[in-house]
Chain A
Amino acid sequence: MTMPARSSLLGALAFIAVAAVAPWMPPWLVSLATIAFANALVVLGLIILWRTGLVPFGQALFYAIGAYAVALIGRYTSVRDVFVVILAGAIFAGIAAYLVGFLLARYREIFFAMLSLAMSMILYGILVKTETLGSTDGFHVEAGTFFGYRPQGVWLNLSIYWLVLGFSAVMAWLVSLYFRSVAGSLSNPIRDNEIRVEFLGISVDRLIHLKLVVSGILAGIGGALAALAVQHVDPAMAYWTTSGGFVFVTILAGAGSVGAAFVGSLVFELVRSIAIDLVPGEWQMILGTVLLLTILFLPEGLGSLYGRLRRRKDAAS
């Protein structure tokens, strides 16, 4: 079997397994995994930019737009279908990414990072100051329906969990296809040498613009799913610490593989909730230590463990 085929099969099996065990998982774990996988979609978008050498410190901008789109549709219209509202979140986030992309795509390195941060903080400022959007408290998100079906009680959480998993599987597959396309393969070349890319007949700025839109759409879907799962939105979703969390998970997961984004995001949420449980006042310290250890001992992230394992197996056989 070819390598991409083997990875896809492995990924599909993993998704089916985590979907199947859900009814026997404790409710807190279902909620935790739901948020973790929703956020992993944002991380997928970060990985796309990361491979190009770009680190967005303001990806929460698109995350919050996706979430608020879902919340506002719930508040002002009678549309409740989860697929429709998530699509709307993705579209609004994509449009926002397309618009800010005209500016962002012209910058690199720290300038790109800070400009992206600035954009997200503008949205944060607007959300905090706008009374009709709930100001700092945010507001409630109406529960979604699935093609008219309205799950209740424990089934609501499970349905959202499966919904998140479904989107995760589809997006992971699409992103892995993207990485094998001509446009997706140009990440490393752009990071290595923009001049050569231009002289092969490609506009680097336009390509980065495309990557921004793709990552914005992923973040929008992640935010929309998170809003449905938590049933609440607030400006913290656009705050820089939210963006920082995504960057944290990207470092933890590594940009090497699509699957690592999901594992990394799950590990991050687990470590965070355990840390909050153990030392409610100082949980950031534990998270910081994990980050430090990752950078020191796993500079290419959790994803590189799988590669190491396989290389050892290949060497043995």
Chain B
Amino acid sequence: MSDILVVRDIEKTFGAVVAARDISVVVPVHQTVGIIGANGAGKTTFVNMITGHLTPSKGSIHFENKDITGLPSRDIVRLGISRSFQVAQVFPTMTVLENMRIASAIANSRDSILDRLFRPIDAPGAVVEADAALDLFQIARYRHAKAVTLPQGVRKLLDIAMAVAGSPRLLLLDEPTSGISIEEKFGLMEVVMSALKTRRITVLFVEHDMEIVGRFADRVLAFYDGTVIADAPPKAVLADPKVQTLISGTQRAHVGQADA
């Protein structure tokens, strides 16, 4: 199995504050990696550096053997890395279908102003793709609802569906279940993960719920104070005493449930 993402010694400092340091991670294709850690541990900073939202102060990031360190996010998206957001980023005044059609139409256009000037938004290919994506993420019945009126879970699914429109090979999900009720979390993750499996996408997801991490991740990165303190399969990481005291301490009940 080849490696899709190679992160070497990246560091991010904001003035005197070190948000991330000494992070080295190698992700093979088709792996699903869970990222855990307390608030402020550097999880989102890590995601932001890979997706070009932040430029690392030091170190390098390679995607499919290409150096993508410091590229603007729109170029990184074009190369095949997409992301969803902790707070779903959709177009609130537009319907679910319009949101999805925009995403599909952009994915189908070439990266040139001229191509986008002469390509109609309702080209048949993009329309079919948009419908298929809504079906895949099971939100087709909301197609004519304005995004602003959607329940939180549906909006999250739309956000992820739009991120997947460009057929990325690597997808980063920043807290896909935040703001979702406990009863709905598992259902949402089932939909997302099975959709991503059918598209054969490598996934990195940030998650606070240890039970979900244990259920869906092949491997877990535990962040603490800006660096990775554990990197192993979920069982091993969740059983790590350092992880238990520093991260999952307050959530031990959940770990117990996951083990049971």
Contacts and interface: CB of A to CB of B under 8 A. Distances in A.
Contacts of B93: 188, 191-192
Interface stretch (B15-23, B108-116, B207-215): B108-116
Interface string B66-78: 0000001111011
A186 B73 contact: no
A182 B113 CA distance: 10
A184 B89 CA distance: 20
A206 B72 CA distance: 13
A182 B94 CA distance: 15
A131 interface: no
Nearest to B106: A200
A196 B94 contact: no
Contacts of A178: 117
Contact of B78 (A184, A186, A201): A201
Interface in A104-130: none
Nearest to B79: A201
Contacts, number: 84
Given A182-B106, A189-B102, A200-B162, A195 B119 contact: no
A156 to B, nearest CB: 36
B166 interface: yes
A195 B91 CA distance: 10
B90 interface: yes
Contacts of A200: 74, 77, 102-103, 106-107, 162, 165-166
Interface residues of A, number: 23
Interface size bucket, B side? Answer: 35 or more
A181 B119 contact: yes
Nearest to A177: B120
A189 B91 contact: yes
B237 to A, nearest CB: 29
A109 B20 CA distance: 35
A99 interface: no
Count chain A CB atoms within 10 A of each CB in B73, B109, B116 and give the residue with the most. B116
Contact of B120 (A181, A201, A203, A206): A181
B14 interface: no
Nearest to B123: A182
A201 B74 contact: yes
B117 A192 contact: no
Given A182-B115, A196-B90, A199-B163, 12 more contacts: A178-B117, A181-B116, A182-B105, A188-B91, A189-B102, A200-B162, A200-B166, A201-B78, A201-B107, A201-B111, A201-B166, A203-B74
Q: Which 6 A-B pairs have the closest CB atoms?
A: A201-B77, A183-B116, A192-B91, A185-B121, A196-B89, A182-B116
Interface of B: 51, 72-75, 77-78, 82-83, 85, 89-94, 102-103, 105-107, 109, 111, 113, 115-122, 162-163, 165-166
Interface of A: 178, 180-186, 188-189, 191-193, 195-196, 198-203, 206, 210
